[in-house]
């Protein structure tokens, strides 16, 4: 936050120095109620009421100076995890200098690289708040960003002196495993059976290999004929820490896997790890279809025993738009396939959901006031599914009402099925000012 205060001070100085500065303001307000029909765990929520306000301020001085501020303010007062009741993040707050084809900005940035939907292996610059893994929020990265369009390619360079950590679910969250916990361990042979009166506690938080210091990201982009291509590189903190449970209990099985009946108190220790990643994306529009491909290769620093090792991710997608008299339909079909150095059966690894998965969906807008979307995901290795349906209506140009239903199916011993008791219905009302 000290960084943000300094940034605001610099901006104020510029405003005072030049009376021709122009300000504009706005805000987005959303109120939502989420209902979970099934109880899951002791002392967890079956409903969540949330208010979110995203104020917006823009400042402009002449042709070269710009300031953008859009923080996120969330109140979730009924949440039984105290860590989740209030969430405040600067999100986007930066001062930018632009001249001709050069942009230099300093502050908090949200960065979205990559071209695929739902699962984007290139999108690694920002950490996330993951109170709900299906609706995680990016955290603004305090960074210096330089972008320039040269005659033969465009580039984006990002330097993050001190990266932020992912914000994990609260101790009473229903998004932590409540039936079976399969942690990532070297031999991959441990299963924890959880008691009905489970009590989670966050424990030690360690950083390996200076993971949060001096993160750097670079993207090069080029259009060649009908192809848009990019090359990316990242050296910095991994998106999610390694989670290591510390438990006591009774061994009930030793072969082929060690199975432990766990005592009620479970401590979750975290280790922040450093990664390096190289990525490539390609987009091509032909035959009225949009073809997308993304691939990345990620490896860890260091020799800590629980590091996951190298990971090779690939995503292929195709998109098609259909236009009608008063409506437009956008459809997507996507397949992801991953290979890794180590087998990983951990049921808290979101990456494992996409090891061999199909995703299909569509979004229909009608008369510019109605919208409906459907999204389906099928994990072909674990036979788990995720299905989401949304219906929305806009009123008086500024108001929107949306109803969303999520359905998850699968065994609690796999990465998607662990959430199978978290089917939910979400009603939200939003207003733009």
* Interval 90-97 mean pLDDT: 97
* Interval 121-134 mean pLDDT: 95
Residue 19 is predicted with a pLDDT of: 46
Tens digits of residue pLDDT in 174-221: 999 998 888 877 777 789 999 989 999 999 999 999 999 999 999 999
Q: Whole domain around residue 133: which residue ranges?
A: 2-432
> Residue 92's beta-bridge partner residues?
70
| Contact of 412 with 349, CB cutoff 8 Å | no
What's the mean pLDDT when you consider all of the chain? 92
* Interval 322-350 mean pLDDT: 90
Tens digits of residue pLDDT in 414-427: 889 999 999 999 99
Q: Which residues contact 301 (CB under 8 A, 6 or more apart)?
A: 208, 209, 211, 273, 274, 275, 276
Least confident piece of the model among 100-104, 154-158, 306-310 = 306-310
> Residue 87's beta-bridge partner residues?
74
> Residue 229's beta-bridge partner residues?
222, 282
Residue 86 is predicted with a pLDDT of: 97
- The number of domains in the chain is 1
Least confident piece of the model among 151-165, 186-200, 210-224, 365-379 = 186-200
Rg (CA), the chain: 23
DSSP state at residue 164: P
Q: How many CB atoms lie within 10 A of CB 359?
A: 21
Residue 65: give its domain's CATH number.
2.40.160.10
* Interval 237-248 mean pLDDT: 92
Provide DSSP, 209-270. Answer: TTTTEEEEEEEEEEEETTEEEEEEEEEEE-SSPEEEEE--EEEEE-SSSEEEEE-SEEEEEE
Residue 216 is predicted with a pLDDT of: 98
Question: Please, is 143 exposed, middle or buried when counting C-beta atoms within 10 Å of its C-beta (0-12, 13-18, 19+)?
Answer: buried
Token code pair at residue 65: 């100076």
Q: Is the pLDDT of residue 8 over 70?
A: no
Residue 16 is predicted with a pLDDT of: 47
For residues 8 and 266, which has the higher predicted lDDT (pLDDT)? 266
β-pairing, 154-162 vs 141-149, is antiparallel
Highest mean pLDDT among 114-118, 311-315, 348-352, 394-398: 311-315
Please give the Cα distance from 194 to 8 (Å, whole number). Answer: 48
* Interval 56-63 mean pLDDT: 93
Please give the Cα distance from 307 to 274 (Å, whole number). Answer: 10
pLDDT-above-90 percentage for the chain: 81
Q: Which residues contact 17 (CB under 8 A, 6 or more apart)?
A: none
- Please give the distance of CA 390 from its chain centroid, rounded to a whole number: 20
């Amino acid at each position: 936050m000290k960084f943000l205060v300094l940034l605001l001070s610099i901006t104020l100085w510029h405003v005072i120095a030049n009376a021709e500065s122009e300000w504009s303001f706005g805000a987005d307000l959303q109120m939502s109620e989420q209902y979970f029909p099934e109880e899951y765990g002791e002392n967890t929520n079956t409903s969540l009421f949330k208010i979110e306000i995203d104020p917006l301020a823009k400042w402009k001085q002449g042709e070269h100076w710009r300031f953008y501020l859009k923080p996120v303010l969330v109140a979730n007062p009924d949440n039984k995890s105290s860590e989740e009741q209030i969430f405040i993040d600067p999100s986007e707050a930066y001062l930018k200098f632009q001249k001709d084809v050069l942009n230099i900005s300093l502050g908090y940035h949200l960065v979205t690289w990559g071209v695929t939907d739902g699962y984007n292996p290139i999108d690694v610059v920002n950490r996330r708040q993951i109170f709900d893994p299906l609706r995680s929020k990016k955290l603004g990265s305090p960074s210096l960003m330089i972008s320039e369009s040269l005659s033969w390619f465009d580039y984006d360079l990002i330097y993050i002196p001190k990266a932020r950590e992912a914000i994990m679910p609260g101790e009473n969250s229903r998004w932590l495993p409540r039936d079976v916990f399969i942690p990532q361990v070297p031999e991959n042979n441990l299963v924890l059976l959880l008691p009905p009166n489970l009590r989670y506690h966050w424990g030690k938080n360690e950083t390996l290999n200076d993971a949060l210091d001096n993160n750097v990201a670079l993207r090069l982009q080029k259009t060649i004929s009908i192809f848009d291509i990019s090359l990316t590189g990242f050296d910095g903190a991994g998106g999610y820490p390694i989670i290591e449970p510390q438990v006591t209990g009774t061994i009930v099985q030793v072969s082929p896997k060690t199975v432990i009946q766990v005592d009620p108190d479970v401590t979750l220790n975290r280790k922040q790890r450093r990664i390096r990643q190289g990525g490539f994306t390609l987009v091509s529009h032909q035959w009225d279809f949009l073809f997308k491909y993304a691939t990345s290769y990620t490896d860890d620093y260091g020799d800590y025993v629980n590091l996951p090792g190298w990971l090779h991710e690939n995503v292929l997608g195709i998109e098609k738009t259909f236009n009608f008299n008063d409506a437009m339909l956008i459809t997507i079909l996507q397949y992801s396939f991953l290979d890794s150095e180590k087998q990983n059966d951990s049921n808290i690894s979101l990456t494992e959901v996409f090891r061999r998965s199909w995703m299909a969906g569509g979004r229909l807008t009608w008369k510019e006031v109605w919208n409906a979307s459907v999204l389906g995901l099928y994990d072909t290795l674990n036979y788990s599914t995720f299905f989401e349906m949304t219906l929305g209506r806009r009123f008086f140009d500024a108001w929107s009402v949306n109803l969303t239903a999520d359905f998850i199916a699968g065994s609690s011993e796999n990465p998607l099925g662990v959430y199978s008791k978290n089917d939910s219905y979400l009603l939200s009302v939003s207003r733009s000012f």
